Chain A
């Protein structure tokens, strides 16, 4: 994997390790490409399409998603060409129509000059979820629990708990909440209980035996303890008191 390639991004030459994606190389070199469905700890998925860039190989120019496209020698990349900007604007226009009241989407669309949806008002919807699948992928790839999944197809597709009942395998770790780019997942810790309504789950929080702070769901700590074969009292005190 040490083999390296030279590519051009926005007119500037860069050398990069073979196997990296355009997005990784751009980000390593401080070139900003907007993303929504991407997280560096999670395998790229290519759903939001926001990271599109224009590439030229030989005589052929086309648009690809930079989070998935592996760098090659001699590749010429434009991250903000007119075609890229035009398509990115339309993506944000479509997302804004879906999530007409979501702050993150409104801000991002605004940055690209999309102040309001091009579509008639009757089409506007008030979703917060953009179905990027980050919550599902984090739960599967990072946590290793797969408590939720993308259910249904097409316009009905959404992350949901199995059988639309409470997510039984959920350990309440909140990874889904932290990775969600549009804050579509609500998580609340109150009166010793963590609630994630989207998955219909509630968890008792563990109290630190020293400082008394309720610092993590019991279920999550038990999951970690068993996985790493830790002693029974390992999580009795919180990380701050350790």
Chain B
């Protein structure tokens, strides 16, 4: 560990030394060991690389870097090999010796390269893989270059130079001006201009102020904040220190959900390292500015992602939101002026300070500058963390980056913004993805969840699912949310069970309007979004459920029946083997099987395994 840095020059010297090592002409293998690659076995793969390099004694020719999330989680474990920017996917422990061998010889392991769907040809460079080619990875891009547990790695690529610049060459007001000029808007979903928030907090009355990192990402399917905090914790920390200096805060908090052990571990390590180097604590880089940070673990309540609930939780109280008639930048944590920003917002700060607001303005669209990270999940071929310029079309994300819908099925809807986001239909695929357009369409940016649905998804069931989540996660404080969401879920459940009434749609709309007007916090006021958008864009599905008592997508169990199409069934017996209810009888080869309706539990397993399309859902 280098010694304490006491001036900008100290940092510069260290950076020069470390970056020399970086360009020493060594080959490098960056293995992703992020949260999503681990279940695919990235840990043993990384260990195997380490052992292989040791065995061969080639540490001086080939460097191994075990990094955070690379983003293309669908193909994990993944690795990047330099030189050549080679992208290897689905790596197994057995592949490791060959990768090392060929890398040393300057050759490529063809079978581990990505194959383009259209041509079937191998694509060597990461930048040519369609998933990456169409992204703008200004925030996430550094994940592949650094070991998140090494502050030296971060400094080597220019880390903490933005902090040095801010502390030694800029006044707090100047920093705020730069952030305002950049047009950066809060990445947690609200989209409030960050510079303005900082300015209000700086001007707010009081000597003691706080800055807070919101890493309580709780949307089902969303993990963008996790990928960033575990993959590049120093970038978040650097942003936070700059913000604290600009606002005049000397104490910061990182509120991380406890279900993110890797992010927690890495931000902890990052803080300790920064403190040892004099980048955190007293007299940072000899500037006279003091700042310290504490980490708090969230207890698993979705609502604690809401700023006032998060602050209540930080104070040791129940995580309940309160009215924001007096803003938290005036009266927040312990009634002191507090600035809370999302992980991704903080990570953008060092980039803006280093490269300038004009650079940031050149990315994205007017009023929606910069990039946004999405967790692309659901029925799409390429799932993973995706960073795109704001204003990009939904279609480009889902089809160019996401590679379209799995199994050649038909696209039906995409839900953006987490459980209380809206479901957008095919006709809106050319919608620009930014804060304002998504809101206009009845959805929202949220913290960047993007769940793709295909023809096999029932939109009434989807609305019921999300309302079930929101009912469970409502804090229960205000009547509209606690009672209203509960009733909406009950009505939706009744519709999916064939007990829907024609008057239900009006009642759902009335309740939705009521929640938007009267709920205490954004969780309640946005809870109707999945209901309203599915009614608006998929009314025919509601009507089929209510009037014809049918589920067109074949999902709602009370409304469907499974049967065997005799002409198509060759009697292979696949369905017989998998049926958990023993409802299907094998009648011998070449004779169609028989399905006993009274035993069928409508689990859909037979439908999924039948290659002949002989199972019919009515």
Contacts and interface: CB of A to CB of B under 8 A. Distances in A.
Nearest to B324: A68
A64 B525 CA distance: 13
B484 to A, nearest CB: 6
Interface stretch (A91-99, A173-181, A224-232): A91-99
A206 interface: no
A48 B325 CA distance: 17
A104 B518 CA distance: 22
B488 to A, nearest CB: 10
A154 B483 contact: no
Contacts of A94: 479-480, 483-484, 487
Interface in A83-110: 83, 86-87, 90-91, 94-95, 97-98
A118 to B, nearest CB: 6
A162 interface: no
Interface string B459-478: 00000000000011111111
Interface string B571-584: 00000000000000
A95 B483 CA distance: 8
A49 B476 contact: no
B326 interface: yes
A169 B219 CA distance: 39
Interface residues of B, number: 34
Contacts of A98: 483
Contacts of A119: 487, 490-491, 507
A48 B519 CA distance: 10
Contacts of A152: 476
B475 A95 contact: no
Nearest to A89: B514
Contacts of B522: none
Interface string B472-512: 11111111101110110011001000000100000100110
A123 B494 CA distance: 11
Contacts of B514: 86-87, 90-91
Contacts of A156: 476
Contacts of A63: 517-518
Interface in A117-162: 118-120, 123, 130-131, 133, 150, 152-157
Given A153-B474, A154-B473, A70 B479 contact: no
Nearest to A52: B518
Given A46-B323, A52-B518, A63-B518, A90 B511 contact: yes
Given A123-B490, A150-B318, A155 B323 contact: no
Nearest to A64: B325
A46 B478 contact: yes
A91 B474 contact: no
B520 interface: yes
Interface residues of A, dominant DSSP: mixed
B385 interface: no
B483 A97 contact: yes
A187 interface: no
A121 to B, nearest CB: 12
A194 B352 CA distance: 67
B487 A154 contact: no
A154 B325 contact: no
A131 B476 contact: yes
B201 interface: no
B322 interface: yes
B514 to A, nearest CB: 4
B279 interface: no
Contacts of B473: 153-154
Given A123-B487, A154-B473, 20 more contacts: A48-B478, A49-B480, A49-B519, A52-B517, A52-B518, A63-B517, A65-B520, A70-B325, A83-B517, A87-B518, A90-B484, A91-B479, A123-B490, A133-B477, A152-B476, A154-B482, A155-B476, A155-B482, A156-B476, A157-B482
Interface of B: 301, 303, 318, 322-323, 325-326, 471-480, 482-484, 486-487, 490-491, 494, 501, 507, 510-511, 514, 517-520
18 contacts: A46-B478, A68-B323, A69-B325, A70-B325, A83-B517, A87-B517, A91-B518, A94-B484, A95-B479, A97-B483, A119-B487, A120-B501, A152-B476, A153-B301, A153-B474, A154-B474, A155-B474, A157-B482
